[in-house]
Amino acid sequence: MRMMAFARAVSARSATAAALAAYAARGDSNMDEQPYRVLVVGAGLGGCLAAKELRRRFGDAAELHVWERATYTAGRFGAVAKAGELHVDLGAQVLSVVDPGDPRALPGHGITRDALDGAWTEVQALEARGLVEPVGDEQLAPTEERLLWPELWRQYAAVGSLSDVCAALLADARPDAVHFGRRVDGLERDATFVVAAAQRDGDGSATPARATFDAVVLAVPAPDALAIDGVADALPSELADLVRRTRYDARTATAVFLRDDDGEASRVLDRVFGGGVERDGLGGLELVHRHGRGGPVVAVVAHSAAAAAVAPQLSVADVLAAIDAAALRPLVVSSKTVRWHCAQMITPLEALRPRNPVDRGPCVCDDSSTLVLAGDYCTQSSFLGAYASSLAAAEAVHRGYLRRGW
């Protein structure tokens, strides 16, 4: 990555972190004013996009809360491994979106024309803010997930990390309160929703947390949504059943950081990757992506996939052997592994009910549009899929609010 772009990413990351810390510090202070209280559960890509769209639709008429079980904007688009200033993504390595100007860009499979246009506009804005930059198809591996349809699907790499992108989207939402380290375990419907959670404390223990909301958006993978007590019962049974029938593949991602002060690691990686940043099929691995250039540390992120719920282990030795770089072992600084039990969609909701894809747009709602489930499992695993579902979820919550004549 160019050094100027890297410096910009680090400074954008500090500014966003400061903004989110301010929202977190505001806690639950607006409770007396009785606006429409909306909770977004999950600050992955879908939750951050849903929060932003909710703020756009409601303006100041909603009090917007976000609860995320990880300690930062994480999920499959945001999980990172860090070594010094180098942050690398452990889930998606690039952001994928359709160019709506291409004649092949047609609505369908749960993606509306508004979603096509809106997702593209959002990505152009992220590029203008210096958070992402286009990456040519020739740099990437021709895997199925890359959706390599030249000129139609466009791929963008994070200048810092995709977690910075999620954090910036969340800051745009101007949430009234954000709680990281808070896992939602149950909800009960009364006139409103009583939501119960466990708040992780600094010492590793957890404290119960509870609050009431007028509407709840669950922007979490389908199995995580159904694991929350009360969710399946609050949905029409045929919708709960459809959500239960969605299927994901599994994946293990391992990031390996290598010392590069004398450029030796880069020389080896140049040989392995040629002019690109990504290779597939090396040593049977699904994908290997290189990160960092010209800094003290560089990294590779390797993915091994499986159609079953658990993907194979992937040790540092496995990764170096697969890229034929075992000699780099003494340069390894650190590594991190994440096992994604829900990685990318095999069977999304729109495939289960193709003629009437989902309840109202690519999201799942209860009868009053106050409990809304959103996520890539409604359409497809990509920035576009998450955007389309978040757009529909925010629209549904707003419709429920108008219907109640708030």
Ligand X SMILES: Cc1cc2nc3c(=O)[nH]c(=O)nc-3n(C[C@H](O)[C@H](O)[C@H](O)COP(=O)(O)OP(=O)(O)OC[C@H]3O[C@@H](n4cnc5c(N)ncnc54)[C@H](O)[C@@H]3O)c2cc1C
**What residue ranges bind ligand X (CB under 6 A)?**
41-47, 67-70, 74-77, 91-96, 145-146, 183-184, 219-221, 224, 228, 251, 303, 340, 343-344, 375-376, 381-383, 385-386
Instruction: Give the nearer residue to ligand X in terms of CB position, either 60 or 151.
Output: 151
Please state the closest distance from residue 182 (CB atom) to ligand X, in A: 6
Instruction: Give the nearer residue to ligand X in terms of CB position, either 249 or 260.
Output: 249
Please state the closest distance from residue 127 (CB atom) to ligand X, in A: 14
Instruction: Give the nearer residue to ligand X in terms of CB position, either 91 or 118.
Output: 91
Cα atoms in the Cβ-side hemisphere of radius 13 Å centred on 338: 20
Indicate the residue type of 224.
Answer: D
Instruction: Give the nearer residue to ligand X in terms of CB position, either 6 or 77.
Output: 77
Longest dimension (CA), the chain: 67
Please state the closest distance from residue 3 (CB atom) to ligand X, in A: 25
Instruction: Give the nearer residue to ligand X in terms of CB position, either 92 or 325.
Output: 92
Please state the closest distance from residue 383 (CB atom) to ligand X, in A: 4
Question: What residue is closest to ligand X based on CB?
Answer: 44
Instruction: Give the nearer residue to ligand X in terms of CB position, either 73 or 369.
Output: 73
Please state the closest distance from residue 379 (CB atom) to ligand X, in A: 9
Please state the closest distance from residue 159 (CB atom) to ligand X, in A: 16
Instruction: Give the nearer residue to ligand X in terms of CB position, either 220 or 256.
Output: 220
Instruction: Give the nearer residue to ligand X in terms of CB position, either 70 or 325.
Output: 70
Please state the closest distance from residue 79 (CB atom) to ligand X, in A: 8
Q: How many CB atoms lie within 10 A of CB 266?
A: 17
Please state the closest distance from residue 345 (CB atom) to ligand X, in A: 8
> Is 376 within 8 Å of 386 (Cβ atoms)?
yes
